[in-house]
Amino acid sequence: MGGRVMVPKFRAWASGEKLMSDVEYINFASETVVLTDTMDCFNIADVELMQSTGLKGYMDESYDDSEEKDVFSGDVIDIFWEEWPAGFYQENHMVGVVSLDKTGTAWVIQNAKYSFDGESIPDEIDGMKISRSLPDEEDLAEVPLHGFDFSSDDITILGNIYEHAELLKVS
């Protein structure tokens, strides 16, 4: 039975050269990485490797790029989703840094910031309390990405922590 083989995608940040590039190949025996953009070879210890999550998104409108992109570890993303709690429209955003969880087995958003816009939702209607699933700080420390049902249109890539360290203040 023929199956599809998933080939992990990587990119690398070479901080000395201030270069972000896709990875052409990794040689684990010699502990080297060849970058696609320059075909230069680097020691693995001299670059930050980032693995693709398998998710796709679009760059923030401040970038002149409308192509769908892979989401990698180290990216700062804004996830958007809509809800209608008790019939009231609400737009939700969660912004944070993509990373592997503490076990190294699942993709998460670390130290996420949550916000919402929309109609003012009352605490109760006709004596019935309205339950809102607003996350607390502990919930936002590691938000599993597999808990969302979204498409690439719902993910905005704001940048990454290597080229845009200022985004760490936003997330």
CB atoms within 10 A of CB 57: 24
Band of pLDDT at residue 148, cut at 50, 70 and 90: confident
Given a cut of 80, is residue 121 above it in pLDDT? no
Structure confidence by residue, pLDDT tens digits, 23-65: 999 999 999 999 999 999 999 999 999 999 999 999 998 888 8
Length of the chain measured in residues: 171
Q: Give yes or no for a contact between 74 and 167, defined as CB atoms under 8 angstroms apart.
A: no
Domain regions of the chain by residue span: 9-46, 51-170
Band of pLDDT at residue 171, cut at 50, 70 and 90: low
Residue with the two structure tokens 């190294």: 104
Given a cut of 90, is residue 132 above it in pLDDT? no
DSSP letters along 143-155, please?
EEGGG----GGGE
Q: Which residues contact 152 (CB under 8 A, 6 or more apart)?
A: 55, 56, 57, 58, 68
Residue with the two structure tokens 């498409």: 151
Q: Which residue has the higher pLDDT, 90 or 130?
A: 90
Band of pLDDT at residue 134, cut at 50, 70 and 90: low
Q: Which residues contact 36 (CB under 8 A, 6 or more apart)?
A: 21, 22, 23, 24
